Amino acid sequence: MSRALPRAHELGLIGCHVCGLVCRDTGLPEGVCPRCESALHRRVPGSRARTWALLIAAFIFYIPANFLPIMRTASLGDADDNTILSGVVELWVKGSPDLAVIVFTASIVVPMLKFLVMATLLLTVHCGTNWARTQRAKLYRLVELIGYWSMLDVFVVSLLTALVQFGFFSEVEPLPGVVYFGLTVVLTMLAAMSFDQRLIWDCKDEDD
Amino acid sequence: MTDQTKPSIQGDLPEPVVRRRRVSPSLIWLVPAVAALVGLSLVINAWVQRGPVIYISFQTAQGLEPGKTVVKYKDVVVGKVTTIRLTPDHHKVIVKVDLEKSASSIAVSDSRFWVVRPRIGLGGVSGIDTLLSGSFIGVDVGDSTQPQTDFTGLENPPSVTHDAQGRSFILQSGDLGSLDIGSPVYFRRIQVGRVASYRLNDDGKGVSLQIFIEHPYDKFVTADSRFWNASGVDVSLGADGLKLNTQSLATVLAGGVAFLDAPGPHPNTASAAENASFTLFDTQDKAMAPPDGPPHYIRMRFDQPVRGLAVNAPVEFLGINIGNVVSIRMDYDQKTGRFPIYVGAVVYPDRLGKAHEKLLAQAKSKGDNDDLSHMMGTLVAHGLRAQAKVGNLLTGQLFISLDFLPNPPKATYDPDARPIEIPTAPGNFDKLQEQLAQIVDKLQKIPFDSIGNNLNNSLAELDKTLKQVNGEVLPAFRNTLKGANQTLGTANSALSADSPLQQNLGSTLEQLQRMARSLRALTDYLSAHPSALIRGRGADAPPAQTAPAPAAAPAATPSQGSKP
């Protein structure tokens, strides 16, 4: 039954993403929709490379984002520089484990999850395996969905910086770490966007 | 369904228009390349900015926090504490500090580190700002160019930093007194410096203090300057009343050092050299006294007991204090079987002033060396002897007196003996003791036993006599008394108012009175008429005539005549 389901490229067809015009697949890489002139391709060209590149860039930025302090809180002359992890630890120690868990999830778990998921997706696509395709597709959708929640930390820092300005008594200022963290989040989101999820299905349908 | 539509679609499907792409998809690799560059630049930047890593050991890590505590020089952050760990023997803590690149010159061998904490002491309050901001590590950058990574942190801030202008001097003292690091140094009651450090001399016989005098004032320290311990209150009771002398209230509590030039003319007014050494005197009086010069050790052998002689007892030469007793030790002379006592003393011949100079000159002219021993030889030959004399009759305290005795006992003096040994003579107290002993001897010779026996016999005799008196004489005496009593009773009755004797006496007296009156009449008459004595009386006859009157008349008559 599954073998009976044909794919567009098996039929020598290609569809326009924008206007839905179905053309004949000539096999040439640089085609444009004759109707709406949007780029016409069976799969987004260079999707994997682009995703890889963005993912690697995001990962590179993730290192300073974790090692550099993201925020300086000063109260009564006692200045305290916090990295993401030390902030989580401090929240936990100072009696807000719930907040610590939220920040930990948003700033550590989610970016790491994205790196892992994207890398897994890319690797499986590269291998062309048809292992757990449905689950992988769901995973990709999940990553797309939760991707921007990682910006939580960046928003916290920018909000606190804007709100807590009481001079000597209490002051919050952002430190370079938050820039790298923001870049990481943006780049992972771009990576997720540039990944063509149809690639998951580009394999021999054996058991489907 | 696909089967139905497939042929119809394939029939007239349009073909995509071919157009050249403007951007190569491989350009996307620029993004990670840029990210890598940024990351690399961060790493390189951190590498370039990285200064030396130093390790400072402290007694305690109180107030230090890794990643937070900074190192400050002149209130500029030059480094940060990264880790704190214990030494393997757990005696100290090692603080690892990442210095900044620009501050790499701090890590030289004579730099000093200390923890700036709030400190409240008698000398003042410091580090109050660290109450809020937390402690930091202060640094005093040294002058050396020798790099070093391991430092021993100071427990207290150094009182003198390398960039302070001024000069250091060394003070030698017997003990530290109440001085401490940071104790003030006063010149004419202006604080001009501080005690920078102190240490026990290697031989343990004194304390060396390093003081630091600040720049404009260091020129006042000359070779003639005298330093004294200005701690505490100096109370002296003199002929001009009670005197109380202090530097300042802080000095009284926390101690301090004062200095001033010695009184008198100063030919050398040049400032003292850096690290010149001075003596720290106990009091201003001692500091201002002429210098003692080098001490000399002398020894005296006393064959008499020296009860009352104590270490530090004065040694006087003709009444001038020239030194102190420093030791009293006993020896045993096998030949004589006696226990001589050796008294050691330190004397300062310079205290003799001109006398010492002249003696020195004399000794030199004679060709002797100018050592004390030859001078002493001359003096001993002139009769100088040491005596233990009583300085205080109440407490019996002794002092050593070097005096010229009129008839000194013979003594040998060896000028080459070391230490110099001065012959002794029994002191006046010893003589007194001898005389007392003689008196006691004489007293002992009195035969108290026989005297007692004799006295006993005499008393027995006396007892007998008394018994005899009691038994025989007393009853007789009582009878006599009774007789006397009776006699007195008789006499009493005879003399009573109603006794015949009394009455007879009354009439007799009356007769006598009458007689006296007539005598007076007679004498009156005779004084008026002295011729009547020869011629006899005139016409009117007197009322009474007594024959023997003429003899008594001259005594009685004038009283009548004088009566008006």
pLDDT in tens, B528-557: 888 888 887 766 655 555 555 454 444 444
In a domain, A208, yes or no: no
Question: What are residue B58's DSSP bridge partners?
Answer: B93
| pLDDT of B478 above 70 | yes
Q: Which residues of A touch B25 (CB under 8 A)?
A: 45-46, 49-50
Give the pLDDT confidence score for residue B56 in this predicted structure. 92
Yes or no, beta carbons of A64 and B32 under 8 Å apart: no
Asked if residue A103 and residue A30 are part of one domain, the reply reads: no
CA nearest to A16 within chain B: B16
Instruction: Work out the burial of residue B435: count CB atoms within 10 Å of its CB; fewer than 13 is exposed, 13-18 middle, 19 or more buried.
Output: exposed
Strand order in the sheet with B17-18: A39-40, A31-32, B17-18
| Amino acid at site B92 | K
Q: How far apart are CA B363 and CA B394, in angstroms?
A: 42
| DSSP helix/strand/coil, B151 | strand
**Residue B28 near chain A (CB below 8 Å):** yes
Higher pLDDT, B13 or A191: A191
Yes or no, beta carbons of B16 and A34 under 8 Å apart: yes
- Give per-residue pLDDT as tens, B199-220: 898 988 889 999 999 888 888 8
Q: Residue B167 in contact with residue B71, Cβ under 8 Å?
A: no
**Residue B42 near chain A (CB below 8 Å):** yes
Q: How far apart are CA A65 and CA A178, in angstroms?
A: 6
Instruction: Work out the burial of residue A136: count CB atoms within 10 Å of its CB; fewer than 13 is exposed, 13-18 middle, 19 or more buried.
Output: buried
Yes or no, beta carbons of A26 and B15 under 8 Å apart: yes
Among B351, B344, B333, B411, CA closest to B379 = B411
Token pair recorded at residue B117 = 């904490």
Average pLDDT score over residue span B409-420: 78
- Give per-residue pLDDT as tens, B323-353: 889 888 888 888 888 888 889 998 888 888 7
Contacts 24+ apart (CB under 8 A), B175-182: B175/B206, B175/B207, B176/B207, B176/B209, B177/B229, B177/B231, B177/B255, B177/B282, B178/B231, B178/B232, B178/B254, B178/B255, B179/B209, B179/B229, B179/B231, B179/B255, B179/B256, B179/B257, B180/B254, B180/B255, B181/B156, B182/B121, B182/B123, B182/B156
For every one of its 208 residues, what pLDDT tens digit does chain A have, with 9 covering 90 and above? 445 577 777 777 888 888 888 888 777 767 788 888 887 777 777 788 888 899 999 999 999 898 888 888 887 767 778 888 888 898 899 888 898 898 888 888 888 988 999 999 889 888 878 788 888 889 898 888 887 787 888 888 899 889 888 877 888 889 888 999 999 999 998 988 888 888 888 776 654 4
Yes or no, beta carbons of A54 and B38 under 8 Å apart: no
pTM for the predicted model, two decimal places: 0.52
Sign of dihedral through CA atoms A7, A12, A15, A20? Answer: negative
Asked if residue A89 and residue A141 are part of one domain, the reply reads: yes
Asked if residue A103 and residue A24 are part of one domain, the reply reads: no
Token pair recorded at residue A137 = 């597709």
Q: How far apart are CA B406 and CA B232, in angstroms?
A: 47
Asked if residue A154 and residue A101 are part of one domain, the reply reads: yes
Higher pLDDT, A127 or B433: A127
- Give per-residue pLDDT as tens, B36-61: 898 899 889 888 888 889 999 999 88
In a domain, A4, yes or no: yes
Q: How far apart are CA B154 and CA B56, in angstroms?
A: 10
CA nearest to B33 within chain A: A57
- The CATH number assigned to the domain holding A185 equals 1.20.140
Question: What are residue A173's DSSP bridge partners?
Answer: A72
In a domain, A194, yes or no: yes
Distance from the Cα of A42 to chain B's closest Cα (Å) equals 11
In a domain, A124, yes or no: yes
Q: How far apart are CA A26 and CA A13, in angstroms?
A: 9
Above pLDDT 90, what percent of chain B? 14
Q: Which residues of B touch A46 (CB under 8 A)?
A: 25-26, 28
Asked if residue A23 and residue A126 are part of one domain, the reply reads: no
Q: How far apart are CA B433 and CA B427, in angstroms?
A: 10
In a domain, A70, yes or no: yes
Give the pLDDT confidence score for residue B513 in this predicted structure. 95
Asked if residue A158 and residue A57 are part of one domain, the reply reads: yes
Give the pLDDT confidence score for residue B241 in this predicted structure. 72
Residue finishing a domain among A9, A26, A42: A42
Query: DSSP letters of B70-115?
Result: EEEETTEEEEEEEEEEE-TTSSSEEEEEEEEGGGGGG-BTT-EEEE
Yes or no, beta carbons of B28 and A53 under 8 Å apart: yes
| DSSP helix/strand/coil, B311 | coil
Query: What is the CB neighbour count within 10 angstroms for residue B367?
Result: 7
Which site among A9, A16, A24 would you substitute to test the B interface, given the most B Cβ atoms closer than 10 Å to its Cβ? A24
Q: Which residues of A touch B116 (CB under 8 A)?
A: none
Yes or no, beta carbons of A34 and B17 under 8 Å apart: yes
Asked if residue A131 and residue A30 are part of one domain, the reply reads: no
Distance from the Cα of B130 to chain A's closest Cα (Å) equals 9
Q: Where are the beta strands (DSSP E) in B129-232?
A: 136-140, 150-152, 166-173, 184-187, 190-200, 207-214, 225-229
Q: Which residues of A touch B44 (CB under 8 A)?
A: none
Asked if residue A136 and residue A108 are part of one domain, the reply reads: yes
Q: Residue B93 in contact with residue B134, Cβ under 8 Å?
A: no
Half-sphere exposure of B475 (CA within 13 A, CB side): 4
**Residue B270 near chain A (CB below 8 Å):** no
- Give per-residue pLDDT as tens, B144-196: 888 888 999 888 777 777 778 888 899 998 888 888 887 888 888 888 988 88
Asked if residue A26 and residue A53 are part of one domain, the reply reads: no
**Residue B10 near chain A (CB below 8 Å):** yes
Asked if residue A66 and residue A8 are part of one domain, the reply reads: no
Give the pLDDT confidence score for residue B9 in this predicted structure. 53
| DSSP helix/strand/coil, B295 | coil
Look at strands B234-238 and B241-245 and give their pairing: antiparallel
Three-state SS string over chain A comes to CHHHCCCHHHHCEEECCCCCCEEECCCCCCEECCCCCCEECCCCCCHHHHHHHHHHHHHHHHHHHHHCCCEEEEECCEEEEECHHHHHHHHHHCCCHHHHHHHHHHHHHHHHHHHHHHHHHHHHHHHCCCCCHHHHHHHHHHHHHHHHHHHHHHHHHHHHHHHCECCCCEEEEECCHHHHHHHHHHHHHHHHHHCCHHHHHCCCCCCC
Question: What are residue B3's DSSP bridge partners?
Answer: none
In a domain, A206, yes or no: no
Residue B232's pLDDT band (boundaries 50, 70, 90)? low
| DSSP helix/strand/coil, B420 | strand
Give the pLDDT confidence score for residue B368 in this predicted structure. 62
CA nearest to A177 within chain B: B42
In a domain, A26, yes or no: yes
Nearest by CB to residue A22, choosing from B9, B31, B132, is: B9
User: What domain count does chain A have?
Assistant: 2
Token pair recorded at residue B423 = 């012959």
Average pLDDT score over residue span B498-520: 90
Give the pLDDT confidence score for residue B457 in this predicted structure. 93
Asked if residue A125 and residue A51 are part of one domain, the reply reads: yes
State the residue for tokens 């015949």: B500
Nearest by CB to residue A23, choosing from B13, B25, B133, is: B13
Distance from the Cα of A67 to chain B's closest Cα (Å) equals 11
**Residue B21 near chain A (CB below 8 Å):** yes
From chain A, which residues contact B within 8 Å (Cβ)? 6, 11-14, 21-24, 26, 28, 30-35, 37, 40, 45-46, 49-50, 53-54, 56-58, 60-61, 63-64, 68, 76-81, 183, 187
Distance from the Cα of A49 to chain B's closest Cα (Å) equals 8
Yes or no, beta carbons of B17 and A37 under 8 Å apart: yes
| pLDDT of B249 above 80 | no
Q: Which residues of B touch A21 (CB under 8 A)?
A: 14
Which site among A21, A47, A61 would you substitute to test the B interface, given the most B Cβ atoms closer than 10 Å to its Cβ? A61
In a domain, A207, yes or no: no
Yes or no, beta carbons of B133 and A53 under 8 Å apart: no
Residue B2's pLDDT band (boundaries 50, 70, 90)? very low
Domain hosting residue A150, numbered range: 47-201
| DSSP helix/strand/coil, B241 | strand
Instruction: Work out the burial of residue B27: count CB atoms within 10 Å of its CB; fewer than 13 is exposed, 13-18 middle, 19 or more buried.
Output: exposed
Token pair recorded at residue B426 = 């029994």
CA nearest to B25 within chain A: A46
- Complex confidence, ipTM: 0.80
Yes or no, beta carbons of B25 and A49 under 8 Å apart: yes
| DSSP helix/strand/coil, B312 | coil
Asked if residue A84 and residue A59 are part of one domain, the reply reads: yes
Give the pLDDT confidence score for residue A17 in this predicted structure. 81
